């Protein structure tokens, strides 16, 4: 991958480590985010679940209530510490690892990610979806929640960048660039279908997107994790 991706992703990871204690603030301040959590009740979450980029665990207990087991993955130890404190279920196992590099020891019925897809650089999306396909057991599906285009109004968007990015600021005044791609529901569904996935992506709560996707026939449960 190019240096633009690598440098920005390193800065993004540093932001989430440094800002873990602030991560939950929007859930306390924004009613739309609190309502969004209820979407989990209507999502096809079942069986053994892998949660990518679990962060501070806002979604993890909701997954645990529906799943046989949950493996929750994040690169930031600081965020995982908060997630562990929030999640009491014995069905949950936390793993510290880079989503782009981690190789799962098994396959899962559901791969879930909330507010992660928008942090994947566009050039890495085909490889990311290929990786997710390799994480899924036969008959499994990916389930995701994220910001849609309306989310750009809440961000300090950087113009004319080789990789779509925004600036996030922490209470101590530090400034970080992170990848932020505001996916349109219809365009994302079309992109997934072009990659061979069966996908349903819709807009909820006025501006968030929620999607379910099944990999191309034969990909779920295949050996190897993709690129």
- Specify which residues 208 forms β-bridges with: 147, 204
Q: Are 182 and 208 in contact (CB under 8 A)?
A: no
Give the whole-angstrom CA distance, residue 111 versus residue 108. Answer: 7
- pLDDT one-digit tens code per residue, 184-193: 999 999 999 9
SS3 content of the chain, % helix, strand, coil (to 5): 35, 25, 35
Residue 67's Cα: distance from chain center in Å?
18
- pLDDT one-digit tens code per residue, 17-45: 999 999 999 999 999 999 999 998 999 99
Q: Are 134 and 219 in contact (CB under 8 A)?
A: yes
Give the whole-angstrom CA distance, residue 207 versus residue 35. Answer: 12
Least confident of 69-78, 79-88, 216-225: 216-225
Q: Are 110 and 78 in contact (CB under 8 A)?
A: no
pTM of the model: 0.93
Between 205 and 212, whose confidence is greater? 212
Counting Cβ atoms within 10 Å, is residue 78 exposed (0-12), middle (13-18) or buried (19+)? middle
What pLDDT does 132 receive?
98
Q: Which CATH code for domain 30-155+180-214?
A: 3.40.50.150
Checking if the pLDDT of 3 tops 70, the result is no
């Amino acid at each position: 991958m190019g240096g633009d991706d690598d440098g920005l992703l390193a800065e993004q990871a540093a932001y989430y480590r440094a800002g873990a204690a602030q991560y939950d603030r929007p859930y306390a301040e924004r009613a739309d985010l609190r309502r969004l959590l209820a979407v989990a009740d209507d999502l096809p979450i079942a069986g053994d679940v892998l949660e990518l980029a679990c962060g501070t665990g806002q979604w993890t207990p909701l997954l645990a209530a529906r799943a046989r087991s949950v493996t929750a993955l994040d690169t930031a130890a600081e965020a995982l510490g908060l997630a562990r404190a929030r999640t009491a279920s014995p069905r949950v196992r936390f793993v510290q690892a880079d989503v782009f590099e981690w190789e799962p020891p098994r396959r899962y019925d559901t791969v879930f990610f909330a507010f992660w897809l928008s942090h994947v650089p566009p050039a890495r999306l085909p490889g990311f979806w290929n990786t997710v396909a390799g994480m899924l057991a036969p008959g499994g599906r990916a389930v995701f929640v994220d910001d849609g285009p309306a989310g750009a109004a809440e961000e300090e968007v950087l113009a004319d960048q080789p990789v779509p990015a925004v600036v996030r600021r922490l209470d101590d005044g530090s400034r970080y660039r992170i990848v932020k791609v505001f996916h349109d529901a219809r365009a994302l569904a079309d992109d997934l279908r072009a990659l061979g996935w069966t996908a349903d992506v819709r807009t909820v709560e006025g501006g968030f997107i929620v999607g379910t996707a099944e990999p191309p026939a034969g990909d779920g449960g295949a050996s190897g994790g993709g690129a």
